[in-house]
A and B are shown apart, each in its own frame.
Chain A
């Protein structure tokens, strides 16, 4: 791999000089991913048995990594405020439950979330760049981003131009990300690869590297708006990519699987995947997030089961 140029960049998150030919050669020079082998490995790790004290720790860690998300056309300020209350205090009856990492909303509701979460320590993430398709002029996507940042969002979840990626126009994708990166200012940038549309794990690996080289702070699997969302093999490949990227450049990029994570078991499987692929350095909300909403109540339910020894019904956990 031609890593020399990356190492020289040392600490600078955005590369300033890159050419279409160099980018293409680099991305196609990455080692391939064998689909069967990756699925087998993910499956093997899913078989890890996490019980008792380890499970209790894992549940709290998972709660603290949740990006509690509402991305509906029907979202209202009231809905967002309710979600924010849940984010800051997931279980009203138990103050020892950690707060979640962030609340993720559309840009026009970012301001509402910022006011509702003031002082709680929960971050506000906003999707931007004409989420979920990204099919808008660059200027519109940048304006979208700036508006979310101006409203107080400290994390921006952008989507890449999958059309350009699949057509092989990597430089366009790169420049888009870099431009959004600039528009983010101090906000953290999560780049959504929409892996369900990338078709192959080779593409997932290339898109991961492309996003990281263009300045992503996080790489994220999915919008949650298409049928195929986060899967374990896809997340495995992305975790390998951030691991290798740190080895090459020293910069640590986070990973966020999103969509389809519904149960505590699912969440713990992701944590095991992180632990044994990228390593324990990624086991913190600063480096790993779970984009989900329904998983939170299942985590709370399992948590109460572990502390009290009995299962409580779903009516004992708030629906927000």
Chain B
């Protein structure tokens, strides 16, 4: 008996994609003055819309609009009043959740199940959570009367376009700052829909400004003199460049960069749930997750059995149409990213690791990569060291807890880690020794607006979310 699930696509008709989009500056959609670019549906390579490219003058206008709004309206506004706007935005996000989820899946390639059940609910939760802080900042532990910084220049990545927007905008606004945000070049659409939500919420003009474009636009924004705070999520290489350009200025900086998380499975772990956690850790969002559990460290007595179970489980993953409600793994976001994943996977083979993927039919058009497992990986291999940012898992083994910790920490990154064991004391012992900003125990990739998120070492600095996340937007 073969139990095939018929295609169950979410209807794309709920969202109305315009042929072209401008910049959102001072509460209005305006033309950009750079060469417009197209955003593409990664699942079938069709162009979705033409997007304005902001040049330095456009960015300057956006920063001025934000400055004016900060000085005249948003900065002086009592926290309780700011909260009302944030609550209103949060509710509008919930009301328009389906629209946002479908648009996110179309522009990004992530499965609708994830955009609908994870991304958009978390986006609303971040606004609700920070709305609650807006009138209670004096209780946040940063002094009796913490002040906003001013204008925040924010640059976000393409892996969680709307969620990263929420992580950036919600705390900034709650603390009384205004923002100029640049979404990623390949995924600008939900940010522009968010601009529409800001208008619907009657957010005062200039409090939120969205400038679209590529690296040049981002550079113009972070290097702009009128920006008081720079927040960036993205690759370590770009983050380094930003840190250099901001050094010596008055600008405050938070960076959330790459990761190469270790997911440590001890021999006494609940194996079936560990397998689920491993799958969720690396194949969630096609592995386009900075905190993905991309290095699996398994204790040797259960390594063989675990890998066997993992392979069986990987065989049930459904790769395909992001809008199908039964899809587990969607499309890779861009041709460039697909090429990078392919290159690193080849490097893994060349260096002697054993590559395995379940039999799986990939669509003919679009950017796709089968879920992939590498066994026999050594710490010295590139696939154990470099961030792949794709559905590729490297399996390493260890013998003792000390060895697990040593290998887990043996990376320039330090964003997240996972521990799987039925023994509570082992969780505590391990977590205390891991140099990672987030440590999950018997679960993985769990997010909550109340929980601070951020990295050690080359994974960046500063925290987002929770009480700690407010610090990056206050004169503390």
Instruction: Check: B271 CB closer than 8 A to any chain A CB.
Output: yes
Select one of A31, A55, A271, A284 contacting B6, CB under 8 A: A55
Encode B1-31 as 1/0 by CB contact (under 8 A) with A: 1111110100000000000000000000000
Encode B417-451 as 1/0 by CB contact (under 8 A) with A: 00000100000000000000000001100000000
CB of B121 to closest CB in A, whole Å: 14
Instruction: Check: B325 CB closer than 8 A to any chain A CB.
Output: yes
A37-B277, A37-B442, A54-B6 are contacts. A31–B272 as well, Cβ < 8 Å? yes
B12-62 residues at the A interface, CB under 8 angstroms: none
CB of A283 to closest CB in B, whole Å: 4
Select one of A36, A49, A52, A280 contacting B326, CB under 8 A: A49
The segment out of A4-12, A40-48, A105-113, A160-168 that lies at the interface is A40-48
A31-B270, A32-B268, A276-B316 are contacts. A52–B1 as well, Cβ < 8 Å? no
Cα–Cα distance between A53 and B3 once the two chains are bound (Å): 11
Cα–Cα distance between A48 and B269 once the two chains are bound (Å): 27
Cα–Cα distance between A38 and B443 once the two chains are bound (Å): 11
CB of B317 to closest CB in A, whole Å: 10
CB pair A240 B272 closer than 8 Å: yes
Encode A1-42 as 1/0 by CB contact (under 8 A) with B: 000000000000000000000000000000111101110110
Cα–Cα distance between A283 and B1 once the two chains are bound (Å): 6
CB pair B3 A31 closer than 8 Å: no
A32-B268, A32-B422 are contacts. A37–B276 as well, Cβ < 8 Å? yes
Instruction: Check: B463 CB closer than 8 A to any chain A CB.
Output: no
Instruction: Check: A294 CB closer than 8 A to any chain B CB.
Output: no
Instruction: Check: B130 CB closer than 8 A to any chain A CB.
Output: no
Select one of B2, B5, B276, B442 contacting A41, CB under 8 A: B276
Instruction: Check: B200 CB closer than 8 A to any chain A CB.
Output: no
CB pair A51 B422 closer than 8 Å: no
Binding site secondary structure of chain A: helix
Instruction: Check: A226 CB closer than 8 A to any chain B CB.
Output: no
CB pair B442 A34 closer than 8 Å: yes
CB of A32 to closest CB in B, whole Å: 4
Contacts of A51 in B (CB 8 A): 6, 8
Cα–Cα distance between A55 and B270 once the two chains are bound (Å): 33
Contacts of B6 in A (CB 8 A): 50-55
Most buried by A among B113, B273, B325, B326: B273
Select one of A32, A40, A49, A271 contacting B276, CB under 8 A: A40
CB pair A54 B277 closer than 8 Å: no
A33-B270, A33-B272, A41-B273 are contacts. A271–B3 as well, Cβ < 8 Å? yes
Count residues of chain A with CB under 8 A from any CB of chain B.
29
Instruction: Check: A61 CB closer than 8 A to any chain B CB.
Output: yes
CB pair B326 A275 closer than 8 Å: no
Contacts of B270 in A (CB 8 A): 31-34, 37
CB nearest to A271 among chain B residues: B3
Binding site secondary structure of chain B: loop
Cα–Cα distance between A280 and B336 once the two chains are bound (Å): 38
Contacts of B117 in A (CB 8 A): 47
CB pair B113 A47 closer than 8 Å: yes
Most buried by A among B1, B113, B269, B326: B1
Contacts of B277 in A (CB 8 A): 37
CB pair A34 B8 closer than 8 Å: no
Select one of B2, B8, B269, B443 contacting A49, CB under 8 A: B8
Contacts of A57 in B (CB 8 A): 3
A37-B277, A51-B8, A276-B316 are contacts. A58–B3 as well, Cβ < 8 Å? yes
CB pair B5 A54 closer than 8 Å: yes
Cα–Cα distance between A33 and B276 once the two chains are bound (Å): 12
B91-120 residues at the A interface, CB under 8 angstroms: 113, 117
CB nearest to B3 among chain A residues: A275
CB of B305 to closest CB in A, whole Å: 8
CB pair A280 B1 closer than 8 Å: yes
Cα–Cα distance between A37 and B279 once the two chains are bound (Å): 12
Contacts of A48 in B (CB 8 A): 5, 325-326
Contacts of A49 in B (CB 8 A): 5, 8, 325-326
Contacts of A36 in B (CB 8 A): 273, 442-443
Cα–Cα distance between A124 and B8 once the two chains are bound (Å): 38
Contacts of A54 in B (CB 8 A): 3-6
Encode B341-356 as 1/0 by CB contact (under 8 A) with A: 0000000000000000
Encode A249-260 as 1/0 by CB contact (under 8 A) with B: 000000000000
CB nearest to B313 among chain A residues: A276
Contacts of B316 in A (CB 8 A): 276
Contacts of A38 in B (CB 8 A): 272-273
Cα–Cα distance between A31 and B268 once the two chains are bound (Å): 7
CB nearest to A55 among chain B residues: B6
Instruction: Write the residues of chain B forming the contact surface with A, with a CB cutoff of 8 angstroms.
Output: 1-6, 8, 113, 117, 268-273, 276-277, 316, 325-326, 422, 442-443
Sampled A-B contacts (12; CB under 8 Å)? A32-B268, A37-B443, A38-B272, A38-B273, A41-B273, A47-B113, A54-B4, A54-B6, A58-B3, A61-B1, A272-B5, A280-B3
Sample of 16 more A-B contacts, CB < 8 Å, known A31-B269, A38-B273: A32-B268, A36-B273, A36-B442, A36-B443, A38-B272, A40-B276, A41-B272, A41-B273, A48-B326, A49-B325, A53-B6, A58-B3, A240-B272, A275-B3, A276-B316, A283-B1
